[in-house]
Copies of this chain bind each other. A is one copy, B any other.
């Protein structure tokens, strides 16, 4: 089944609101193997709306229209559809009854603005609105079925769930195709694409491989249509698994922190962190996860040299001799955090987030990190040439990833640690 989507609303064109309805619709369709073919958004303009209805109705089975059902003058969907179908607008008795009931239940008086919502293209069929005042409506156009839905997300959801999807699944065949999404960290999209292409020159034809940058993570998608889709995707995943084993964080929207909290909990270990350049970012990622208190007691944001000495007992001499962004300092920070917290594992970071503070020897983006247990601490230097906020998020995620790799017993060198410093100009 081919589905197009037409969204209308000045607020969508002006950037006043972000369009979340189309993602909502797409996600509701996905379980049936249905995908939106194209999605057009226009402002509240009758000429653009009629033209778009003509255009989009020509190459699909279902044209979903969203928005423009309200009581105000800039709600033009019914008028546009009537015009394109060559029928007049007529007060629809069922729609009027719905409005009257809706107003009665709220002790509202049905005014003329509300009454406009019952003025629909003559001959259309009503789509019940389980929660709001504006009914939906549907009629055929150019061989496709146009279905007009309200812009209020809660009303749209209810109408999709209770009215539209039951009708569509009864009428159209729906594949039980499969789409699986995997969250990766520490893999480059282009490198991974090339590795897969090289390892599998004869990639299975029916299986779609896709990537999506969800910084700092990378999403890998495997999809296949039809009833055999699940098996085809499972086979494809098995084939590429060796290539992504080190960088696979989890399925769907698994976050790095979620994975680390889960691994720590399974291992019965507790983590602490001592942060300089990430400024609380590591602790914030961890504590965003419900139940983080099972594995995390205490974190320290030691932003100044004084704080590093005071809280973590980093030596004044170490700081003077090596500077705050150095191997000895992050090792002392990690050791200090372990002593302070009594945790089993620590991660400590110190780096130059920029935009200021860089030197020729330690340019902006330079990071030292230490991680491990009291008797087995490692430290490494790497380089993250990113804008400050992204730098902090990326370095925080790397800190958690190094803990993850240790807990999972992954040897080998993660790619991000191999990036040492910028080229000298």
A18 touching B18, Cβ below 8 Å = yes
A36 close to B (CB within 8 Å): yes
CB contacts (< 8 Å) of A48 on chain B: these are: 37-38
Residues of A whose CB lies within 8 Å of any CB of B are 9-20, 22-27, 29-30, 35-44, 48, 52, 55, 70-74, 104-108, 111-114, 131, 151-152, 154, 179, 181, 188-191, 193-194, 210-215, 219, 221, 275, 278-284, 286-288, 290-293, 296-304, 306-307, 310-311, 340-342, 353-356, 383, 385, 387-390, 392, 418-423
16 other contacts beyond A151-B213, A293-B304, with CB at 8 A cut-off? Answer: A14-B26, A15-B27, A19-B22, A22-B41, A35-B43, A37-B43, A38-B43, A40-B40, A72-B211, A107-B418, A279-B284, A283-B283, A283-B301, A290-B353, A298-B304, A301-B301
Assembly CA distance A367 to B418 (angstroms)? 43
Q: Which of B24, B106, B342, B354 makes the CB contact (< 8 A) with A385?
A: B106
In the bound complex, residues from chain B placing their C-beta under 8 Å from that of A189 are 70-72, 113
Give Cα A108–Cα B36 distance, bound, in whole angstroms: 37
Closest 10 CB pairs of A and B: A279-B287, A15-B26, A280-B283, A113-B190, A280-B280, A298-B307, A299-B301, A71-B190, A15-B23, A297-B304
Give 13 A-B contacts (CB < 8 Å), ordered by A residue: A13-B36, A16-B210, A16-B219, A17-B212, A19-B19, A105-B385, A107-B421, A279-B283, A279-B299, A280-B299, A288-B389, A293-B303, A307-B341
Q: Would you give the shortest CB distance from A358 to chain B, in whole angstroms?
A: 12
Q: Which residues of B contact A421 (CB under 8 A)?
A: 107
| Chain B residues within an 8 Å CB radius of A297 | 302-304, 306-307
Instruction: Find chain B residues with CB under 8 A from A41 CB.
Output: 22, 38-41
Chain B residue, CB-CB nearest to A55: B55
Contact (Cβ within 8 A) A73 B193:
yes
Chain B: CB-nearest residue to A285 = B280
B71 touches A193 (CB 8 A): yes
B residues near A282, Cβ cutoff 8 Å: 280
SS class, residues of chain A in contact with chain B: mixed
Give the nearest-CB partner of A305 in chain B: B297
Other-chain residue from B105, B299, B310 in contact with A340 (beta carbon distance below 8 A): B310
The listed residue (B9, B52, B104, B290) touching A354 by CB distance below 8 A is B290
How far is it, in angstroms, between the C-alpha of A392 and the C-alpha of B288 when the chains are bound? Answer: 8
Query: Which residues from chain B contact A288 at a C-beta distance below 8 Å?
Result: 279, 388-389, 392
| Residue pair A17, B23 in contact (C-beta under 8 Å) | yes
Residues of B within 8 A of A22 (CB): 12, 15, 19, 41
- Let me know if B387 and A423 touch, CB within 8 A: no
B19 touches A24 (CB 8 A): no
Question: How many Å from the CB of A251 to the closest CB on chain B?
Answer: 14
User: Which B residues lie within 8 Å of A210 (CB)?
Assistant: 10-11, 16, 44, 72, 74
A279 and B300 in contact, given A16-B212, A307-B341 (Cβ under 8 angstroms): no
**Contact (Cβ within 8 A) B194 A111:** yes
Across the interface, do B194 and A112 meet the contact criterion of CB distance under 8 Å? Answer: yes
Tell me the smallest distance from the CB of A320 to a CB of chain B, in Å: 18
Chain B residues with CB under 8 Å of A279's CB are 283-284, 286-288, 292, 299
Alpha-carbon distance between A83 and B419 when the two chains are bound, in angstroms: 38
Whether A356 touches B15, Cβ cut-off 8 Å, given contacts A38-B42, A38-B52, is no
- Which of A188, A283, A306, A355 has most B Cβ within 10 Å? A283
Q: Which residue of B lies closest to A72 (CB)?
A: B193
Contacts of A15 in B (CB 8 A): 22-27, 29-30
CB A236 to nearest CB in B, in angstroms, measures 15
Query: B298 and A105: CB pair below 8 A?
Result: no
Complex CA distance for A12 and B20, rounded to whole angstroms: 11
Inter-chain contacts of A38 with B (CB < 8 A): 13, 40-43, 48, 52
